[in-house]
Amino acid sequence: MMIIKYEIFNTKTGEILAYTDNETILDIIIVNLDRLGVPYDYQITPEYIEFMEEN
């Protein structure tokens, strides 16, 4: 079973805000960033993408 890891980052500064492999935690982080008005985005971690390309 593959574990997908996400990184959440500030789109204005590029600062990485959090890493998680749990989609429920990802949803909680997103809701709170929305409430705070932080410009954010998330993506699958680059390490995971590289691992998938190798296989």
pLDDT score of 4? 85
User: Does residue 1 fall inside a structural domain?
Assistant: no
Instruction: Please tell me the total count of domains within the chain.
Output: 1
**Pick the residue with more confidence: 1 or 35?**
35
Report which DSSP code applies to 15.
Answer: -
Whole-number Cα distances in Å, 30 to 1, 13, 15, 20, 55 = 25, 17, 15, 12, 31
- To 5 degrees, how large is the angle CA 46–CA 39–CA 19? 35
Residue 44 lies in a domain: yes
Identify the domain containing residue 27 by its residue range: 6-54
Return the pLDDT at 20.
93
Q: CA 22 to CA 16: how far, in whole Å?
A: 17
The identity of residue 45, as a single letter, is: T
Cα(49)–Cα(14) distance, integer angstroms: 19
Q: What is the pLDDT of residue 44?
A: 87
Model confidence over 8-55: pLDDT tens digits? 999 999 999 999 999 999 999 999 999 999 999 999 887 766 566 666
